[in-house]
Chains A and B, each alone.
Chain A
C-alpha cells in the first residue's frame, strides 16, 4: 500500500516527462490524436453502414405472384400455409386490381399508357414480410426456395440483389477498417512507446537508484505507465473534440449520419488510455531492465 508521500512522488514523476520534453510529448499527442481520428472516422463509418444495413434488412420481403386461373378456395387455402412458413410475420393479399392501381400511381404522368392495354396484365399476389430476427438474406431465401416449388405460384420477387450487394460492400469496408485500424493501433503504440523510451533513457539514474534501495518493480514502472496513459487520454480527448467540431461544421450535409453516443465516447477514450498503457508497457519490456547494473 502506498503512503501519501509515495502517491505524490508517483504523480509528480508521471507528469515530469510533460514538462521536461514539452515538444516531444506535444508532437506525440498530436500524431496519436491524428491516428485516433482516422480510427474514429473508420469506426463511425462502419457503425453507420451497420445501421444502413439494418434498415435495408428491414425492407427484405417477398412478393409471391399467383397463377391467374386459381379457384378462390385454393387462393384462400394458400394464406395460412404462407403464414406458417418460418420467420414470416405478416401475409397481405394484393389482388390484381389493387396492384394495377398501385402501378398507376408509380407511373405518375405516364399513367395514361396503361389505357392502351386491353386487359389488366398484373397477377394477384401475396406480400410477405418477416419478423426482425428473420430479416436476413439466408432466411428469406429459404422461404423463397420453398414457395417457388408450389404449383399455385407463378413467380416470386425478392429484393435480395441490392441487399446482397450492400452486405458485400459493408463486409469489405469492415475488413478494410479492421486492417487500417490495426495499422493505426500499432502506429499509436509505436509512437507512445518511443516517447516513453526517451523518458526511460533520461531517467536511467533515478531508476538505478530506486532499484538499489529496494523499490519494487511495480513502483519503478508506475510513473512510465501513467505517462503513457495520460498521453493516450489527452490524444483521445483531442481526437474526439476535433471530430465533434468537424461534425458540427459539416452539420446538415451529413444527413442522418450517427455520431458516437456518450457511452461509446467514453469507451473510445478508455481505449485510447489502454493504447497509451500498451505503448508504455512495450517500451518498458524492452528498455527497462530491472537489473541495477552495479
Chain B
C-alpha cells in the first residue's frame, strides 16, 4: 500500500502556491505576517504562506506547534491578532462575523476523534451537514448516497458509528465533510487514532478528494507520514513557520506508511513497484 502521489491538478496547483505576490492572486488561502495570541500567549508569530486552489498541503510539527491554530484561522474560528488571513477572497480582519457560516459552507472538517453524532446512523450523520444548510430533502438523499458510495460505506449507511471500525468512522467524517462539496478540506490529525494500514487508507481517500479539485490542508505530527508524503510540506514549531518544502520528487515515492513502520529499514527504502490505485468499493 503506497501513499497516493499527486495527480496533474495538484501539481499545477503546487506550482501556483507559495508566498510570492504572483501566487497570491490564485491562492485560496493566504496568511500575511500573521500573529495569533490566546490570553496573552503567543500561538503564532509572523506566519506567511499561501495555498493555491486544488493544492494538497501537509502541515506538520510537534504537538502545540501551532498547526491547529492555523486551521482555526482558516476556518475563521479565530482571528489574527496581527497580519491578515484571506480565505476564498474573504479577509478575516475586515469580515463581518455574520458571514462566517457562509464561508464554513465552503470548508470541510475532519478530526482525529471523528466527531460523529453517536445516536444517528451513518446516513443521518452525513445528511445532517446538508440539512442544517437548507438543502432540499430530495437533493440530500441523492448527495448522501453519492458521497457514501465514494467513501465505500454505502452498504453500512444504516449502522450507528459505534458499529463501525475507527477507519470507517473517519470515512464517515470525510463523507460528511465532502457532502457540501467544499472548496477546502481541513484535516486535523485525521490519522491520529488509526493504525498504519487504516491511516494509509484515509490518506489515500484524502488524495482522491484532492483529485476532485478540493484543496486539502492536512495536519499531522507523525514523522512517518511526513516522510512518505510527496507533496508540499509546511513545518511549524513554536508558532513559527520553519520551512515550506515542495517535494517535486518525493523523499520516498515508493514506500508507503506501512512500509516505513513495519518493514526493515533496508527493505523499506528499496524500490518497489507502486500498487495500482484502489477505487472505492461502490464508485
Contacts and interface: CB of A to CB of B under 8 A. Distances in A.
Contacts of B107: 214
B117 A206 contact: yes
Interface in B100-153: 101-107, 109, 111, 115, 117-118, 128-129, 131-137, 140
Interface in B232-279: none
Given A208-B115, A214-B101, A214-B104, A291 B77 contact: yes
Interface string A208-225: 111111111101000000
B188 interface: yes
Q: Is the interface of B mostly helix, strand, loop or mixed?
A: mixed
A209 B131 CA distance: 12
Interface stretch (A4-12, A33-41, A44-52, A186-194): A4-12
B44 interface: no
B132 A210 contact: yes
A2 B131 CA distance: 10
21 contacts: A3-B135, A3-B136, A6-B132, A205-B115, A209-B115, A209-B128, A209-B129, A210-B132, A211-B101, A213-B176, A214-B102, A214-B106, A215-B101, A215-B133, A219-B132, A292-B77, A292-B104, A293-B77, A294-B71, A294-B75, A294-B188
**Which bucket holds chain A's interface residue count?**
20 to 34
9 tightest A-B contacts by CB? A214-B105, A214-B104, A215-B132, A213-B129, A214-B101, A5-B137, A212-B109, A216-B101, A292-B77
Interface in A267-294: 291-294
Contacts, number: 72
A3 B101 contact: no
A114 to B, nearest CB: 87
Interface string A95-135: 00000000000000000000000000000000000000000
Nearest to B68: A294
A202 to B, nearest CB: 11
B180 interface: yes
Contacts of B75: 212, 292, 294
A3 B72 contact: no
Interface in B182-211: 186, 188
Contacts of A206: 117
Most buried by A among B102, B137, B180: B137
Most buried by A among B98, B104, B117, B118: B104
Given A3-B135, A215-B101, 7 more contacts: A5-B131, A5-B137, A6-B131, A212-B115, A213-B104, A214-B132, A294-B72
Nearest to A212: B109
A208 B128 CA distance: 12
Contacts of B103: 214
Contact of B77 (A6, A215, A294): A294
A169 B115 CA distance: 62
A188 B54 CA distance: 54
Interface string A67-111: 000000000000000000000000000000000000000000000
